[in-house]
A and B are shown apart, each in its own frame.
Chain A
């Protein structure tokens, strides 16, 4: 029995963190001992919409702790909220519609030239300022060359939208039937 408990103890400490590294929810770091991680510092943008596209004031529906978890892309919270909101709306005889837009920066955003300072180009060289000192640029590589290499033929705006604003949940899907997955 003791050895069973020890193996269970080891299992929790090995498998739960591995679940993060081999899983598909990079923003959910629970049980993985990822203290002070770069992901922890990220903040996503979360917007909720009801029927007829009206934006929902989140603080009216949930405690601020859940709002903060949504900003950390905690999809299980979004799913649970959708379930409750839809049930409440249906019970009140209103259309059960909930749409969410969840956009997050990438975990390595601080290293990406296009994400470091957004589209700001204060030195007016046609290249976003973040490329002046981005870690992803090779030593001695000019900002323009780094920008062209990392963004291909895209404009700065297109590259920013594609690289720095990852849409985890798209507004087009009504969450009421099935949730955020």
Chain B
């Protein structure tokens, strides 16, 4: 029992390390939820169908919906960001953990295993009390949840290593399938050649290295004295995953951040704390001036709580996704509560400002990225496939309003034609052409900035091909309305873009002669050019 106690309950770690871990992991989680997760919300409950992660839960769980899931994720992001900044830390972490894990368990629509990993880490973090036992000088925190972080990572690497202790993996064929892009494959083979490996030996050698590396990682995480070795070595595996363009969302970023924080040597944290103390001392006059009262009267506290809640709600209500009214109410209440219950002795101005700033950051994140556009675009696509034309039109219209790019005007136009709404369809086709031409102009500028970049030329080729179909469609629509001159111009547009597509793909293939994308595009472009 003393070994158990020593291992779990006597494990100490720097308070500053935990703070940076929390900031990094929860900050990234907030960004992830606001910008990546949101667009997947319409999957949940689509077609009145859902399957939970556990069969027993299917019998009792209600059907999820895009509104609940989307709003839930945004709220979880708000809470995670708040915890990252040290405001209402424990309650926010618990809230984020409950929502994130609840949604994950609610549906198998999320099949990323690293999301399950984040669930477990969040649940562990939620169990860390606000005031855990610490050393006499307060530098070190002693709590089993911090040991659990390392144990969780150990299990992750250990089990993935077990997965790879398999003849199929060790033969290299899985890695070969994963590294599918010709340029990346060439780079990997080139790297292997530098180590004296033949082409046939590269992928098996890499596969064995990955397996051994993961066993190594699992072991190192349990050897405190050698954490620094792990910090220097293990992140390269995750960096390599990004290098080979394997789509695993932000998993690599989470892992690199966790590893750098958890495995960095103690000395680094001593320096960090000294530097942080100097910065804090330097900013003391400013923080005293703007920090506001730390022991305010109840009336002032109430006023600031109402201000925080009202402002956060007013900002949240600007979001344009389903479920915003409920989200606004919860964010408003959560913000007010965080200020009202903010501990005495800490800046109330900071607590108030954080609520408002994070609501603003949430709104900015959704608007500044493609999150809102993708949310409606993917929803519209699903409804279109399932035959709900009216629903798809509604969602595509909202998607198109959320972006200045080419968007889904063409697809919207085709749906409107099916519904007999010819005037609106024509307007959609015209807008589609304009937006595609604007995007083409940008891509041509990009080519001029990097003339030997084949991918940029292929992007231009693809854009020309899209314009061929847009102009064709416009020509048909004009003909139906008796506008022969406009139809003629649209026909010439299609012909011109087909020729330009051929030129673009041929130009790109000069720099990347073996590109599958380039050859497929060229064949398509030549076929379209021949038809005209």
Task: Using CB atoms and an 8 Å cutoff, list the residues of chain A in contact with chain B.
Answer: 2-3, 5-6, 9-10, 12-14, 17, 29-38, 41, 59-66, 68-69, 72, 74, 76-77, 80-81, 84, 107-108, 110-111, 135
Across the two chains, which residue of chain B brings its CB closest to A110?
B173
Report the separation of the CA atoms of residues A32 and B159 in the bound assembly, to the nearest whole angstrom: 7
Report the separation of the CA atoms of residues A84 and B385 in the bound assembly, to the nearest whole angstrom: 19
What does the 1/0 interface line of B47-64 toward A look like (CB < 8 Å)?
111110101001000000
User: Which of A10, A38, A59 is the one whose CB lies under 8 Å from B174?
Assistant: A38
Report if B167 contacts A (CB, 8 A): yes
Report the separation of the CA atoms of residues A13 and B120 in the bound assembly, to the nearest whole angstrom: 10
What are 11 contact pairs spanning A and B, CB under 8 A? Answer: A9-B148, A17-B162, A34-B160, A36-B164, A36-B246, A62-B46, A63-B109, A66-B51, A66-B109, A76-B55, A76-B108
Q: A30: which B residues are within 8 A, CB to CB?
A: 53, 108, 111, 113, 116
Find out whether the CB atom of B49 lies under 8 angstroms from the CB atom of A111: no
Report the separation of the CA atoms of residues A30 and B109 in the bound assembly, to the nearest whole angstrom: 12
Find out whether the CB atom of A111 lies under 8 angstroms from the CB atom of B167: yes
With A9-B124, A31-B116 given, is the CB distance from A59 to B148 under 8 Å? Answer: no
Q: B531: which A residues are within 8 A, CB to CB?
A: none
Find out whether the CB atom of B160 lies under 8 angstroms from the CB atom of A35: yes
Find out whether the CB atom of B168 lies under 8 angstroms from the CB atom of A38: yes
With A33-B155, A41-B174, A65-B43 given, is the CB distance from A60 to B386 under 8 Å? Answer: yes
Find out whether the CB atom of B58 lies under 8 angstroms from the CB atom of A80: yes
Across the two chains, which residue of chain B brings its CB closest to A112?
B168
- Docked complex: B107-165 residues within 8 A CB-CB of A: 108-109, 111, 113-114, 116-117, 120, 124, 127, 144, 148, 151-152, 155-156, 159-160, 162-164
Among A36, A65, A68, A76, find the residue whose CB has the most chain B CB atoms closer than 10 A. Answer: A36
Find out whether the CB atom of A77 lies under 8 angstroms from the CB atom of B108: yes
CB distance from A23 to the nearest CB of B (A): 13
Report if B9 contacts A (CB, 8 A): yes
Q: A32: which B residues are within 8 A, CB to CB?
A: 159, 163
User: Which of A29, A61, A68 is the one whose CB lies under 8 Å from B386?
Assistant: A61
Find out whether the CB atom of A111 lies under 8 angstroms from the CB atom of B173: yes
Q: B8: which A residues are within 8 A, CB to CB?
A: 2-3, 6
Report the separation of the CA atoms of residues A172 and B72 in the bound assembly, to the nearest whole angstrom: 43
Across the two chains, which residue of chain A brings its CB closest to B53?
A30
Find out whether the CB atom of B127 lies under 8 angstroms from the CB atom of A107: no
Report if B427 contacts A (CB, 8 A): no
User: Which of B48, B108, B155, B387 is the one whose CB lies under 8 Å from A84?
Assistant: B48
